């Protein structure tokens, strides 16, 4: 069997994390290529439903990246995210999916290196967890 290559979604907010990802790319920082970046206008516009849908359809890991608290372009967007995502983590844990499969982190536009660090760490963590148990489950 081929080595496990996790599929990972990263929701990046347009104003900070996406620019951070851009910076990481421009600076030619090396990182795993398992991550599919999705640009959203704000981390708060990532409906928790999207995260839960991804997890229940067999995506191995979901990253939600936003601006640091206090730096949100829309003032309070990331405060909302900071409430929602921890709850999503708990809910999927109740169902029996490891809560580490969802991660919320703050990456600013200047933190290309942090972006690299978060991605590398997360991919390593998911590789350790193995494939999403729901991947093979057919309802």
Partner 1 sequence: MFVMREEHGNVAPALVQKGEDLGNVRIDVPYQLVNILETVYPSSPGKIAVLTRRCDEKALAELFKRGLLDEARIVMIGLACSKEQIRLCRCEDPVPSRVVVGEPNAPAKGDELETRLSGMTPDERLKFWTGQFRKCNKCFACTTNCPVCFCDECILEDRTFVPEKGIPPGLSFHLIRSFHLADKCIECGECERSCPASIPLLTLRKMALKDVKGLFNYRPGEKKTTSPLLTTLDDQPLAGEGCDEC
> Which one among 36, 70, 86, 135 touches partner 1, defined by CB under 8 A?
86
> Which one among 27, 33, 36, 87 touches partner 1, defined by CB under 8 A?
87
Q: Residue 93, interface with partner 1 (CB under 8 A)?
A: yes
List the interface residues with partner 1, window 65-84 (CB under 8 A). Answer: 76, 79-80, 83-84
Burial-class residue 116 by CB neighbours within 10 Å (0-12, 13-18, 19+).
Answer: buried
Q: Residue 135, interface with partner 1 (CB under 8 A)?
A: no
Cα–Cα distance between 50 and 110 in angstroms, integer?
27
Q: Map tokens 């599919």 to a residue.
A: 36
Residue pair 85/51 in contact by the 8 Å Cβ criterion:
yes
Q: Give me the least distance between CB of 47 and partner 1, in Å please.
A: 8
The structure tokens listed for 9 are 């979604």
Q: Residue 38, interface with partner 1 (CB under 8 A)?
A: no
SS3 for 65? strand
Provide the binding-site residues for partner 1, judged by CB under 8 A: 48-49, 52-53, 55-57, 76, 79-80, 83-84, 86-88, 90-98, 133-134, 137, 139
């Amino acid at each position: 069997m081929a080595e496990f290559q996790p599929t990972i979604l990263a929701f990046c907010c347009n104003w900070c994390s996406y620019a951070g990802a851009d910076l990481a790319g421009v600076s030619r920082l090396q990182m795993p290529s398992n991550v599919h970046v999705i640009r959203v206008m704000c981390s708060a516009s990532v409906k928790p439903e999207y995260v839960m849908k991804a997890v229940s359809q067999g995506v191995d890991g979901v990253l939600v990246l936003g601006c640091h608290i206090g730096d949100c372009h829309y003032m309070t967007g990331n405060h909302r995210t900071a409430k929602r995502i921890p709850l999503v983590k708990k809910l999927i844990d109740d169902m029996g999916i490891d809560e580490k499969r969802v991660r919320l982190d703050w990456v600013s536009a200047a933190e290309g290196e942090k972006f690299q660090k978060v991605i590398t760490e997360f991919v390593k963590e998911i590789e350790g967890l193995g494939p999403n148990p729901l991947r093979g489950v057919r309802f």
